[in-house]
Amino acid sequence: MKQAVIRGGLETLYFSGLHHLLRPLVGGVGAILTMHHVRPPRRDAFQPNRLLEVTPEFFERLLRQIERAGLEVISLDEMHRRFIAGDFARRFVCLTFDDGYKDIKQFAYPLLKQFRMPFALFIATSFPDRLGELWWLALEAVIAQSKRIGLVIDGKDRFFDCATLKDKRALYDAIYAYLREMKDEDELRATVRDLCASSRVDLAAFCRDLCMDWAELGELAADPLCTIGAHTVNHKMLMKVADEGAVRAEMDMSRSVLEAALGRRPQHLAYPVGDPTSAGAREFRIAAELGFKTALTTRPGVLFRGHRDHLTALPRISINGEYQQPRYLKVLMSGAATAMWNGFRRINAA
């Protein structure tokens, strides 16, 4: 295991924040933004998952900028209608939030209501069922509270020091990359369960403490501004699931459970993690076969007319919590960087 590994997974998910924030939101016909947490900043020095959260102040500025830029915020159903009708008179933005964290209800929802902006929540049904494993947060907690941790690698016990902040950061990146490279997510989960057990970290607590329960989701789902989308049952990287039937079941069952619990059948899906190691051609095909109107990746990019033929492989722009300064927003929202797009393929649905 390399000590200084470039942060693989979430970094692929978000790319380097700077890069995608330089990407012009106003290019193409529109864009889908994605976020995870909206909540006040924590003071801890060790926060490897900080890129997944933005502050309520930043979020409010983002909404204000969207409004000021004259971008229309629309629901995913309306986006789908526009693709089918070829109706691209006005540039649009869709706002999406993955995983259904309580802080979205507490801090983002009041602002979304105030601005009257529609939004979508993508829910892995094991989260409100309190069976979800938020392993990336558990790993952070294990390393935060340990001076040294043990891991079984290739059948051998290995030990890693993580007493200092620098060591903690390096070790998080290394273990994260090691886990993300595993061929099978069950192996990843087993490794994190072992780490939690030996460090006395309660893996189930993250789901219970951070994710909305069914009653909370029901309150949001009742608001016409809110679209509830499927995000599978167990939040696995689907490409690592060998059995196609199991992939199909993950997508289909989460839709059925959400329909039974909230009274409306989800028409949209977001692939867990959603980067090219988590969702590919097989997943795009299955989502289409299951009749989802759209399915969203985290491959970065804005939307073009041609995405009409790839509605189950749509890109999103992840708002990265490491880059919350107003100047980034300004560049993001200005059309000035459009030229940067010339080097990028417009549609990346392979």
In the complex, the residues that contact Zn ion under the rule CB under 5 A are 98-99, 272
> Does an H or E element contain 73, and which?
strand 72-73
Q: 71 or 273, CB closer to Zn ion?
A: 273
CA distance 253 to 255: 5
Q: Cβ distance 30 to 314 under 8 Å?
A: no
Nearest distance in Å: CB 246, Zn ion:
18
Three-state secondary-structure class, residue 215: helix
Nearest distance in Å: CB 345, Zn ion:
25
Nearest distance in Å: CB 7, Zn ion:
17
Nearest distance in Å: CB 334, Zn ion:
29
Residues 6+ apart with CB under 8 A from 154: none
Nearest distance in Å: CB 274, Zn ion:
8
Q: 13 or 112, CB closer to Zn ion?
A: 13
Q: 26 or 38, CB closer to Zn ion?
A: 38
Residue 36: what are its φ and ψ, rounded to 5°? -115, -70
Single-letter code of the amino acid located at 162: C
Residue 144 to residues 49, 50, 164, Cα–Cα distance (Å)? 12, 14, 10
Q: 78 or 216, CB closer to Zn ion?
A: 216
Residue 277 to residues 122, 159, 302, Cα–Cα distance (Å)? 19, 28, 20
Nearest distance in Å: CB 231, Zn ion:
6
Q: Which of 204, 241, 230, 226 is nearest to 294 (CA)?
A: 230
Residue 147 to residues 161, 171, 269, Cα–Cα distance (Å)? 6, 11, 40
Residue nearest to Zn ion (CB): 98
Q: 30 or 272, CB closer to Zn ion?
A: 272
Q: 99 or 140, CB closer to Zn ion?
A: 99
Q: 279 or 303, CB closer to Zn ion?
A: 279
Nearest distance in Å: CB 309, Zn ion:
26
Q: 175 or 273, CB closer to Zn ion?
A: 273
CA distance 53 to 59: 10
Nearest distance in Å: CB 111, Zn ion:
21
CA distance 231 to 296: 10
> Does an H or E element contain 158, and which?
strand 156-161
Nearest distance in Å: CB 99, Zn ion:
4
Give the orientation angle of helix 214-221 with respect to helix 244-262, to 10 degrees. 70
Tokens (6 digits) for 321: 């919590």
Q: Which of 98, 122, 95 is nearest to 111 (CA)?
A: 95
Single-letter code of the amino acid located at 313: A
Q: 99 or 173, CB closer to Zn ion?
A: 99
